[in-house]
Structure 1
Amino acid sequence: MAVRGFDVFSSRSIRVGASVPSHTRGSFSKAALALTASAAALTLAGTAFAQETQLPGINVQGAQAKKASAPKAKPKPKPVQAVQSEPVSPVATDGGNQAAASDAPYNTPASVSVAGQGEIQTFGQTNVQDVLRAMPGVSTGNDPNNPGIAVNIRGFEGQGRVNMMIDGVRQNFRITGHTTGGFAYVDPLLLASIEVQRGAVSGVGGSGALAGSANMRTLDVDDVLKPGKYYGALTSLTWGSNGIGFSEMGAGAIRSGAISIVGAISKHDQDDYDNGRGQRVPYTDQDLISGLAKAHIQIDSAQQVSFGTVLYNNDFTANSYNQNIDSKIYTASYTYNPASNDLINFRAGFSGSDLKMRYLSGIGTASSGTGRTIEDLGLGFDVSNTSLFNLGGIAVKSNYGYEYYHDAVDALNSIDPSKGGGVNPSGKSTNRGAFSETTFSKSIFDLIVGLRYDDYNLNGNAVVDPHVPPYLPPNFPIPLPPGLELGNLHVNNSYGDFSKKFTLAAKPVEWFQPYVTWSNTFRAPSISETLVDGSHPASAFEPNFLPNPFLQPEKQRGWEFGFNSKYSGLFQSGDTFRFKGNYYTMDVDNYITASCDAMGLVCSFYNNVGTSKVEGVELEGAYDAGYFFAGLSYSHNHTTLPSQMDGLGLHSYLPGDITTITAGLRFFNERLTVGGRTYITGKSQKGDINVGPNEPLFYDGYTTYDLFSNYKVTDDIDLGLTVSNLTDVAYTPALSSLGTGNSPVETGRGRTFLLTTRAQF
């Protein structure tokens, strides 16, 4: 059941244009073949700590009710007890000195991927997007000028389609311009893990997430302290060629009695880099400083309170302006988990965020945006509880709760207030959601039932220029509602609906778990999509932009068929094999994109007419024999979604095929690790709306190679060497834009050497 309301006021009348049909894309001939491919290992990340197994919103289950969901010991009657699967052996690019990347994805009947700290520091020091792009079904909107992260899941990107989080805090910053529709900003040197869930999210973090979520967890006490230590430090010093220069990070932590504290600071000053042809890619420099502080207080054996802050400040050049990003994230949480009561495992979390994008000065002839500031003030909280009990012979784990988040966006110009935020609007949005996810475990079967009800409200003002041609987005109603006229608009929109997720998993043998999932989700229109207005800065002949208060929420429904496989001793005693795969299909209604009139003078966002289809295959796994490890990640994607329009967003089609292969060897009692990684990226669609006369319909595919090595000098000190783009390939990464204009050169980074000294003591 859906409930929707509008409260729209204006002062002059307007007309409605024609609808725009969806477009047909490609074929899906490779899907069946891909499901039969054999592989070993994507997740070759090194240091991944115990906290990396805690995936918000992910139900980690086996068919025999695993220990993670089994009730704690208590007086009879006792709930059905469960079997804990064996821990994964270390599969680490840093020599295997610590636990491997989380084994949780291979216990989870869902599309889940995790990258640990070792993988991030090996492959993501210069650009953490390389780590995300190595996950199946995942990519990023790439703007080489802008250091922000825009996660793409299965071809869905921007405007909140993927819920991007830092330490569980939503990153809802949106921007309208020559780039993707929103960024998250975090320093790779402060990251401990990245956790991505593709598809519907039933628990915390699922509100408004059409295609999935990505949580980037920063360093905490247990990431800095060695096991058994009460104080310690973690430091990293990196030098890189090709504009990288020096990067420094230092962290310290202490645990005393009931109190534990951690702090970290990082600095990175980077110059422009060269591509594979030796050509300078302009405006790719940045000057970053970031830090964090966290504290945990153990009140008693059942209760803990935690506080944290993550700070980020970066100067760079994008969208024709020298810009500054200043981001502050604040968190607080309380947990209550009494050992004597299986019905209570309670958590309450509170968060605040303040992100400012400042336009400091223009480059070239750009000047109208100088003085502009776009600020997003976010406030959120969530409460949840997990209960464990029995229904006869059925073990039950139920997680239920409520989440809320509010964003207040202010776009202004301190030099010329009349210019405001350009085409970036101000406004407020609120999302609320009640949710539950319950797992029923009996014999070899798990039935997971997820249900949530979410609603949103969007409030703000916009202006329809009375001098624009008589064009309006396709889904404006005809005739116009009484009182809706050309001029000033006040918009107060609301909507509410249910989202559901049902998964049936089985474990007929210990090493194999098939599952099937049906789900539906929706995403509310963003402030940027609804309230965009004004004209293109600095030109009287560029397009005018119209708001669209009649946008409907995007909706998807679909199936996923997948499996997990875990096996130890496959070829020799002590080796480990982990593998998972899935086929997904999604039907998408009301997909929001942008279009212009026939003259290209008036543009707006609109809901696509009809149903679009997205389907694909995703494979990932891990094999580790101690002295040898190898891996593969593979994605195949097909879509009939209409294209996002470059210039008012960014094309978001995944390449048809993406493969990442990693392999390595360990020597000298695993103190020395050497290996390589290959990225094979197929061609990708530009989108009909972005193709000019006589231009090709696809971006070219490309293949790049990385080498890596790590030597453990002592138990406390590691030396690492990485060579990215070994063969100096000239390419432009898929899903790329260049906010300062169309680049005359390929924007992929050329061959780059990184030398890292890392100490933990």
Structure 2
Amino acid sequence: MSGLNARACALLLSMSIVALGAVVVVGPVHAQSAEASSQAVQPAKPKPIKRKRAGAPMAEVPVPQAKLMNANAQIGQPVYQSLDEITVAATKTQERAIDALAPVSVVTLEQIQGRNASTVGDLVYNVPGVWLQDRGDDPSTAINIRGLQDFGRVAVVVDGARQNYQRTGHNSNGSFFLNPELIGGIDIVRGPTANIYGSGAIGGVASFRTKDIQDVVRPGERWGLDTNTVFGTNSGRALGSIFGGVHVNSNVDVFAGGTYSTQNNYKDGLGVTVENTAQRLSSGIAKLTVRPADGHEIKLGGIFQEDIYNVGQPRRPVGQPFAQPGAAGNGTSVYATNLKNYTTTLGWKYSRPDDQIFDWDAKIYWNRTDSQQVKTLHNSTAATGNCIGGRPGNSITGCVGDQRSYLIDTFGFDFHNTSRFETGDWRHAVTYGGDGFRDNVSTADKSGNSNKTTPGGERTVTGAFVQWKTNYTSLFEMVSAIRYDNYQLSSSAGSASGDRFSPKITIGLLPASVVTPYVSYAEGYRAPSITETLVDSAHVATGAGQGDFSICPDGTRGFFCFLPNPNLRPEVGKTKEIGVNIKKNDLFRAGDSFRGKLNLFRNDVDDYIDSVQFTGPPFNSFPPIPGVFPTTYLQYQNIAHARIQGFEAETMYDANDYFVGVSLTLQEGKNTQTNIGLYSIQPQKVTTTAGLRFLDNQVILSAMWTSVKSNTDIPVTYLPGTSYDLVNLYLQVRPTKDFALNFSVENLLNQYYRPYAIPRAADFTSPQNDVLWASAGAGIVYKAGLRYHFGGS
């Protein structure tokens, strides 16, 4: 890593020196974020909505009003950079992403509408430091930020509501369900620099905003309606959506919409059909916004999603890639799944330019994920038992025809207020608040043991914070914060609790200039999850003679036994970071712009929780019983220390008629106790984006090339992912401001690729076949979409 550090430091230093020469062209302006904005960002509606205030506008980098309009209305409007988007994710105060003294990235509605996305991963795969651990036979999304994922290490919020779904299996241990057609914008913050955003986010925050009335009703319109239809190859993909809104009067808005999509089984880059990748997804959304008094806004929102799919992989015929004869070629059990997700939020915002004391945002929410499954196929050749009528199955994975279920209810709240004041040339913004959530998990399995490997229980997590953001003229900015976290776990098997204070401080120079260097130190705190603490029972044997030698505490037998650990300690992430923000307009010619964010970081995680496999006598049997094999255990344990470090860059040059940008990630992560790399680390990703605009922005042709290097420094218990080059092409044609055609070619090179490391079987000699097969991305896909806008006054 010393070589990587040296190269990254040299790059940071050289770019800073070159760009500092341009600082003199920028006159003194107010610092960005501690002062109320004189140009509030207004949604597209007849009467402006008063929203959270940004800092003083930067004379060098104006925010074009075109960005507030629906993407179909962009013809003839000046282009803008996504890093100029307003975000509140880093500090809960409004600021442009390029000005934030934090590694924050933004995905805009315009970018979303140009990609014909089938998954959330299609929208964020090019963001530095971000990886996905998805399966083709499961429509959920699992986000990895800076090598950290699972069990809440990345805080995922949808319209402010935490998404805490987790189920143990041959996939990630933390995912969420969100149809990409519902998304109106994405903010991603890397690292615990956003620790004020909520407990557990030692990896970062992924905040999703769903569509709202300003996304479909344009300036001057009273009502608006957007329709979208997409068709694609390589599985018969089809999607349809409709969203509409109306300004009932100057103080009441109504918005609603729905989506429906379907696809058949796709083929990977080797031309092999990946079974059970067929899906049928539907969703609906509705929002009511009321402004009862000047500065006040109350919003009630609801989202419903239903996903119907089969998860699991049947045996592959011998002769196909990665197929093997005998027990080594087994797939896994297949479950017909009906999953429903509900999200309800109620928010109350208050903000007035003349009120420096109160600027609050309060929200309560409820999120439910309800997964109902029926086993339809048993793949193991091991002896069956415990199934009535001789049906295939066993006491671990259940019997064909039997049901199992998982239900999580998350109730939460989030409140924060910002007060502003000045002392001489110093401007201050003090933000303070609290948040909390309670997870209620209930599981049931008629004939299997998934209710033990994902145990039920209750977790309560609460926290409070205070943040002080101060600016001295245009020379200096500091953001300091302290957060308190408390957690409690309880179930029939036991309980656990803990608390901690976590600090943060960031110092930046020349916040309003072309080049803004900053340094940051932040700590994050993640409580153990219910599963990590209480997981129990056996992992099934996969074939005859493949071993049910391990005798577990609950009497079940299998390859190995999950062992609970009620003494787990919380993880503490400590991140040191050096960053540089670069922003320059009229760089080479009038009207062009350059934006760049560079970050060098090291995250030291104390008491990192990882699964540890070991052998010992059967439970409560010492000395060993003659003739009984030693038992293999898998338990979540605290390892002394894990270190993740790397370099990230996000750049974009836009000359109006063409644009080019690079997103770069270089990182490594190790268990410092064993000096073995972490399986969740991806060492290198480079995404190059380039495009051309024609006919006054009516035609946009672009390409994205993502080059990824495989991580081979991982435990023997995992099979590395593949290195790959993913090339996507996009064409947007807008003959009128209301009509748009979108075409795309995904995986142009038709490459076979597996983006992440997958677990091996318990004997370490072969991978888990279902993950091996289902983690392969789709081969080449052609898509065509038609988007139309209706509106009137």
TM-score, normalisation: structure 1: 0.83
2:188 is equivalent to residue 213 of structure 1: no
Aligned to 2:386: none
Cross-structure match for 1:276: 269
Distance 1:657 1:731 in 2: 15
Correspondence list, 1:151-550, <5 A: 151-202=143-194, 205-257=197-249, 258-319=251-312, 320-365=334-379, 367=393, 368-369=397-398, 370-413=402-445, 415-416=446-447, 419=449, 421-443=451-473, 444-461=475-492, 490-507=493-510, 510-537=513-540, 540-550=557-567
Deviation string, structure 1 residues 553-575 (Cα, Å, up to 9, x no partner):
01111210001011000111000
Amino acid at match of 2:671: L
| Aligned AA (1:218) | T
Aligned to 1:680: 707
Bigger shift: residues 243-252 or 540-549: 540-549
Deviations 1:705-758 (A, max 9, x none): 111100002110100100011121122223567987243588121110010101
Shift of 1:399: 0.8
Give, in whole Å, the separation in 2 of the partners of 1:494 and 1:622. Answer: 46
Which residue identity does 1:290 align to in structure 2?
S
Please say if 1:585 is aligned against 2:615.
Answer: no
CA distance 1:630–1:172, change in 2 (3 Å): same
Return the alpha-carbon distance in structure 2 between the equivalents of residues 247 and 305 of structure 1.
32
Residues 683 and 700 in structure 1, CA contact (< 8 A), matched pair in contact too: yes
Partner of 1:700: 722
Task: Pick from 62, 79, 90 the counterpart of residue 87 of structure 1.
Answer: 62
Q: Deviation of residue 232 (structure 1)?
A: 0.6
1:566 alignment counterpart: 583
In structure 1, distance between residues paired with 2:238 and 2:511: 53
What SS is found at the alignment partner of 1:528? helix
**Matched residue SS, 1:743:** helix
Decide which of 20, 29, 35 is 1:70's aligned counterpart: 35
**Are the structure 2 counterparts of residues 678 and 541 from structure 1 closer, same or farther at C-alpha, using a change threshold of 3 Å?**
same
Aligned equivalent of 2:783: 754
Structure 1 residue 326: Cα displacement: 0.6
Residue 336 of structure 1 contacts residue 346 of structure 1 at CA under 8 Å; is this kept in 2? yes
| CA RMSD across the alignment | 2.8
Moved more, 101-110 or 170-179: 101-110
Contact 2:194/2:205, CA 8 A, preserved across alignment = no
Residue number among 669, 694, 697 corresponding to 2:696 in the alignment: 669
Structure 2: which amino acid aligns with 1:494?
Answer: S
TM-score, scaled to structure 2: 0.80
In structure 1, distance between residues paired with 2:210 and 2:487: 29
Instruction: Give 3-state SS (helix, strand or coil) of 1:118's partner.
Output: helix
| 1:41-91 residue CA offsets vs partner (Å, 9 max, x unmatched) | xxxxxxxxxxxxxxxxxxxxx996546531479xxxxxx994534225679
Percent of residue pairs identical = 27
Within the alignment, does 1:728 sit opposite 2:750 as a pair?
Answer: yes
Taking the aligned partners of 2:146 and 2:776, their CA distance within structure 1 comes to: 23
CA deviations over 1:243-299 (Å, ceiling 9, x no partner): 142100100100122100110100011111011221111111111001110110011
Aligned residue for 1:357, secondary structure, equals strand
Distance 1:81 1:642, change over 3 A: closer
Question: How far has the Cα of 1:231 moved from its partner?
Answer: 0.3
Asked if the contact 1:168–1:205 (Cα under 8 Å) also holds between the matched residues in 2, the reply is: no
Cα pair 1:568 1:575 within 8 Å, conserved: yes
CA distance in 2, matches of 1:235, 1:93: 13
1:715 corresponds to:
737
Residues 710 and 35 of structure 1: is their aligned pair in 2 closer, same or farther, counting only changes over 3 Å?
A: farther
Q: Residues 260 and 746 from structure 1, CA distance in 2 versus in 1: closer, same or farther, beyond 3 angstroms?
A: closer
Return the alpha-carbon distance in structure 1 between the equivalents of residues 146 and 194 of structure 2.
Answer: 18
> In the TM superposition, what whole-angstrom CA distance separates every residue of 1:66-125 from its partner, at most 9, and x where no partner exists?
46531479xxxxxx9945342256799989547653512211010001111232233361
CA distance in 2, matches of 1:382, 1:742: 37
State the secondary structure of the residue aligned to 1:222.
helix
Deviations for 1:459-482, whole angstroms, at most 9, x for unmatched residues?
Answer: 013xxxxxxxxxxxxxxxxxxxxx
Indicate the SS of the match to 1:107. coil
Aligned partner letter, 1:267: Y
- Is residue 433–residue 466 contact of structure 2 (8 Å, CA) maintained in 1? yes
Q: Distance in 1 between matches of 2:534 and 2:509?
A: 47
Paired letter, 1:304: E
Q: Secondary structure at the match of 2:772?
A: coil
Q: What is the deviation of 1:37? A: 5.5
Q: Does the 8 Å CA contact 1:286/1:314 hold for their aligned counterparts?
A: yes
Whole-Å Cα distance in 2 between the matches of residues 351 and 750 of structure 1? 39
What is the identity, as a one-letter code, of the residue corresponding to 1:376?
A: I
Cα pair distance change 1:182/1:215, threshold 3 Å: same
Cα distance in structure 2, aligned partners of 1:387 and 1:453 = 20
Q: C-alpha separation between the residues in 1 aligned to 2:55 and 2:485?
A: 34
Using a 3 Å threshold, how does the CA distance of structure 1 residues 179 and 203 change in structure 2: closer, same or farther?
Answer: closer
Shift in Å, 1:525: 0.3
* Structure with more contact order per residue of length (Cα contacts < 8 Å, sep ≥ 6): 1
Question: For structure 1, which runs of at least 5 residues remain unmatched after alignment?
Answer: 1-26, 39-61, 74-79, 462-489, 645-649, 692-696
CA distance in 1, matches of 2:414, 2:511: 37
Cα drift, residue 363 of structure 1? 2.3
Report if aligned partners of 1:548, 1:606 keep a CA contact under 8 Å in 2: yes
Deviates more, 1:156-165 or 1:700-709: 700-709
Amino acid at match of 2:664: Y
CA contact (8 A) 2:135 2:774 kept: no
CA distance in 2, matches of 1:126, 1:274: 15
Q: Residues 625 and 197 of structure 1: is their aligned pair in 2 closer, same or farther, counting only changes over 3 Å?
A: same
Post-superposition CA distance 1:477-529 (Å, at most 9, x none): xxxxxxxxxxxxx3221101011110000117721111000111110000010
Q: 1:719 to 1:739 in 2, by over 3 A?
A: farther
Q: Distance in 2 between matches of 1:586 and 1:81?
A: 30
Pairwise CA distance, 1:217: 1.2
The answer to whether the 8 A contact 1:501-1:518 is kept is: yes
Q: Secondary structure at the match of 2:261?
A: strand
Name the SS of the counterpart of 1:281 in structure 2: coil
Larger CA deviation: 365-374 vs 145-154: 365-374
Distance 2:665 2:711 in 1: 13
Offset at residue 679 of structure 1 (A): 0.7
Q: Cα 1:94–1:133, aligned 2, differ >3 Å: closer, same or farther?
A: farther
Task: Name the counterpart of 1:132.
Answer: 124
1:618 aligns with 2:648: yes
SS in structure 2 opposite 1:380? strand
Q: CA deviation digits over 1:305-339, x for unaligned, max 9?
A: 11001111101222432222110000001122244
Cα distance, 1:359 vs. partner?
1.5
> Are 1:546 and 1:602, in contact at CA under 8 Å, matched by a contact in 2?
no
**1:106 aligns to 2:98 (yes or no):** yes
CA 1:427–1:81: 2 relative to 1, 3 Å: closer
Cα 1:739–1:597, aligned 2, differ >3 Å: closer, same or farther?
Answer: closer
